[in-house]
Every structure is written in C-alpha cells, then in structure tokens.
Structure 1
Amino acid sequence: MKTLLIAEPAGRDLEAIVDYIARENPAAAENVYRQIARTAAKLPEFPALGRPGRFSGTREMNVAGSPYLIVYEVNVEAVTILAVFHTSRNLAAALRDRMEGS
C-alpha cells in the first residue's frame, strides 16, 4: 500500500473549509472533515478510484455526500493530496493557479 501525503496547500484548504463551516455549525464542520478524511484514506490502497484530473499527472475524487473534490497525484511510493476544493469554485482556474504556483 502507498503512503498518503498531504501537500501543505491542501492542508490549508482543509483547515479553511472546516473553519468556515464551524463558524455557523461546528457539528457540520466535523462531519465534513470526517467525510473528506474517509475519502482520502481510501486513496493509498485504491489510487485509481478517482478520475483523471484536469492537469497531466493528477487525479480527482469527489467526496461522497459533499460538494468537495480532492485533487491528488500518484507515484510509485505515495499518493499526495494537492488540493481540496469546493465544487462551486472555478476549478480549472483554481487548479491552474495552484499547479503553476508550485
């Protein structure tokens, strides 16, 4: 099984998502965090679960029951989560900015 890594920008994405939701509903924030974490936990064992991503070398996986998307890359040893985005965002622009900024 591969190692699961979370890139620093993806960690900030997750923190921002949870903080935003927690301002209005801490229980919902915890639920969203658990949904994202459960989805991410599947990726080391089943890295092909997601679809091919919008950028070469990436894959994308919807978080079931939520409007969030995990963007990740797979190599021989690890699955690295690159971003966690709300699907209402302009994903192509957000991913382009993220990928060009790295």
Structure 2
Amino acid sequence: MLDCDSLFVNIDNNTFKVRGIQQAIKLYGQDARIKGVHVSPHTFGHTFAKMYIMNGGDAFSLQKILGHTSLDIVRMYVNLFGTDISEKHDRHSPIENL
C-alpha cells in the first residue's frame, strides 16, 4: 500500500499531473481501438452526465456528483439529454398515479 493522498500515482508514489492522466487515457483509447470520438477525461465526464440524465438521474444530484457550484452546466445536460417532459409527467404525476 502506498502512502499518498492522491488517487492516481505513478510507480514512484508521485501524484500524476493532469497532462499525464490525459495522455494515459488517450493511449488507453488507442489500445482499445476506439475510433470516431475524442477519448479524454472531459469526454468521460460528459458521457457519464449524459447517461446519468438519460437513465432518470436528477439535475441536483448530478450537480453534486460533478462538483459544480451552480446548475448552469448541469442544465445543459438536462436540456440536451433529458427524456420527454410528458413522459416524466406521466410517470411522476400524483394525479396520474392515484
């Protein structure tokens, strides 16, 4: 076990720099033969947010998970990937579910 507070460390127990993580993820994408998309930490975060919203997650918990201080960016994910508003109404309306 390594004595370090960082999640990502190298073999010398030194914290990975942002650029090192970006490069590693890019190489993993190449090794996995992923084509047609940019493989990066930003893309992972965007994909997570998209899937979270598409699977019924709410904007407030997504905001906390992503560490955003405001709902501005999260609102973009909801607007782009949220399910149809009438579908949500049908599923969650107290009147429709009596």
* TM-score category (smaller protein): under 0.3
Which of the pair is proportionally richer in strand? 1
TM-score (norm 2): 0.25
Greater C-alpha Rg? 2
Report 1 or 2 for greater relative contact order, CA contacts < 8 Å, sequence distance ≥ 6. Answer: 1
